[in-house]
Amino acid sequence: MKKILALALASCMFTAVASSPVYVDGGIGLDTGSNNLALSGNIGYMFMKYFGIEGGMTGTSNYYLFDGAVKGVLPLGMVDLYGKLGAGINDYTGGGNNNTTMGLLYGGGVAFHVAPSWQLHVEDYTVSGSNPNFLMFGAQFNF
């Protein structure tokens, strides 16, 4: 009986690891206002398949965006549509100007499931009151 209980507990632990709600993603794209190359990195947590939170950073050579957002997901089989809504802190340094502002982050995207733990995505997002709009292509790994 103890062996069966031990096996049941072990299988529960491995199931929890296989379906972890934590993910990381990285992207490359453009600041569409200036056509500068942009890089991004995020970490997130999905509370359920429709709702999660994420935080991250997007940067160009003279502009950085730090953000936190609520993420809503509409799963459609092998494709997910999603939207983000949150807050962003913009930090711009260039042309002799240094400017830091905070605004509403909003955006959306589409993700394609390419393997059990991997997604490829295209997304577009911006922060109110700031010039940059980011069009990003990236990959997400679900732990």
d(C-alpha 48, C-alpha 141), whole Å: 16
- Structural domain includes residue 7: no
> Residue 25 belongs to a domain with what CATH number?
2.40.160.20
For 72, the domain range is: 21-142
- Structural domain includes residue 13: no
Q: How confident is the model at residue 2 (pLDDT cuts 50, 70, 90)?
A: low
Q: How confident is the model at residue 131 (pLDDT cuts 50, 70, 90)?
A: confident
Q: What is the pLDDT of residues 39-69, one digit of tens each?
A: 999 999 999 999 999 999 999 998 999 999 9
57 φ/ψ angles, rounded to the nearest 5 degrees? -145, 140
Quote the DSSP letter at residue 130.
Answer: -
Q: Per-residue pLDDT averaged across 25-29, rounded?
A: 98
The number of distinct structural domains making up the chain is 1
pLDDT at 17 over 50: no
